[in-house]
Amino acid sequence: MLIDYKNATIRQDDGSLVLEHVDFHVNEGEFIYIIGRVGSGKSTLLKTLYFELDLDEADNAMVFNHDIRKLKRRYVPALRRQMGIIFQDFQLLSDRNVHDNLQFVLKATGWKDKEEIEQRISEVLEDVEMTEKTERMPHELSGGEQQRIAIARAILNKPKVIIADEPTGNLDPETANNIIQLLRNVTQTGTSVVMTTHNIPLLKDYPGIVYRCCGKHLELVTDDYNKIMMLSDDTDSSQETYNSGYEVREDLSV
Ligand SMILES: Nc1ncnc2c1ncn2[C@@H]1O[C@H](COP(=O)(O)OP(=O)(O)OP(=O)(O)O)[C@@H](O)[C@H]1O
């Protein structure tokens, strides 16, 4: 198991409670969605996974077999290197082109051999179908293209887990589908993906394990990829419309 939280309590730095009694598990190659209303704690849960926020109240809190309750800060970079992190706003370095964005990460994570660096950059750009855009600056790319580069950057070091905080939030529905398809492809290599989303229709088109943040708890909605096809929109309350134009209902039930 790559990530194993049992009965974890997640608080902000100011001590305010975000989620309690959290049981959350990630195995190799899994595709996991975290859904839930605005402010329900999705991003905060992710922050504990990539050590942006401490988690010390739990019966168990393991990431890559390290007990993160006792983790010394000096071990964080080595663990983060085994993760790829993707944000809604891409967070590419705006002052350098696509190639140099990727090269920067490889150099920062200890790659030295020039040929190997070039080879790896070509491979990941091929994976995300962006080989033509190597020389482009981030501002010369569309949102979907920038997110492709963010994915390329996230997979450079063949991470065990990709953590993506609303990676399709700024994208039109078709581009969002392409991005999710790319992330699904990544799981074929054994990498797991944990992503937050408000885009509920995605769940049916690209099934995965679904958790929901709700009322300071994290519920497992389904861990059966097949069952997700039966997720019902036919519920009685809590309709919300988001920027994507989708009408979504967050109180999905199986
Ligand atoms: N740095 C912070 N310090 C204190 N409280 C915070 C901080 N960041 C977020 N919060 C609060 O923690 C709660 C959970 O926020 P979080 O960002 O995890 O929600 P979310 O489910 O990701 O929301 P969204 O769907 O809008 O991204 C909210 O009440 C939010 O106001």
Atom of ligand 1 nearest to the CA of 198: 25
Q: pLDDT value at position 1?
A: 94
Q: Whose CA is nearest to atom 4 of ligand 1?
A: 12
Contacts of 236 (CB under 8 A, 6+ apart): none
Could you read off the pLDDT of 93-109 as tens digits, one per residue?
A: 999 999 999 999 999 99
Q: How far is the CA of 152 from the centre of ligand 1 (A)?
A: 27
ipTM value: 0.97
Q: Are 51 and 71 in contact (CB under 8 A)?
A: yes
**What ranges in the chain are assigned the alpha helix state H?**
42-49, 76-80, 98-108, 114-127, 143-155, 173-187, 200-205
197 lines ligand 1 (CB under 6 A): no
Render pLDDT for 140-182 as a digit per residue (tens, 0 to 9).
999 999 999 999 999 999 999 999 999 999 888 889 999 999 9
Q: With a cut of 80, say whether residue 229 has pLDDT above it.
A: no
Instruction: Kindly report which listed range (9-13, 149-153, 199-203) carries the lowest average pLDDT score.
Output: 199-203
Domain extent listing, the chain: 3-249
| Radius of gyration from C-alpha coordinates of the chain | 18
Per-residue pLDDT band for 202 (boundaries 50, 70, 90) equals: confident
- CATH code of the domain made up of 3-249: 3.40.50.300
Centre of ligand 1 to C-alpha 44, Å, is 6
Distance in angstroms (rounded) separating the CA atoms of residues 94 and 90: 10
Average pLDDT, the chain: 89
Other CB atoms within a 10 A radius of the CB of residue 90 amount to 20
0.80 cut: is pTM over it? yes
For residue 208, how many other CB atoms are within 10 A of its CB? Answer: 21
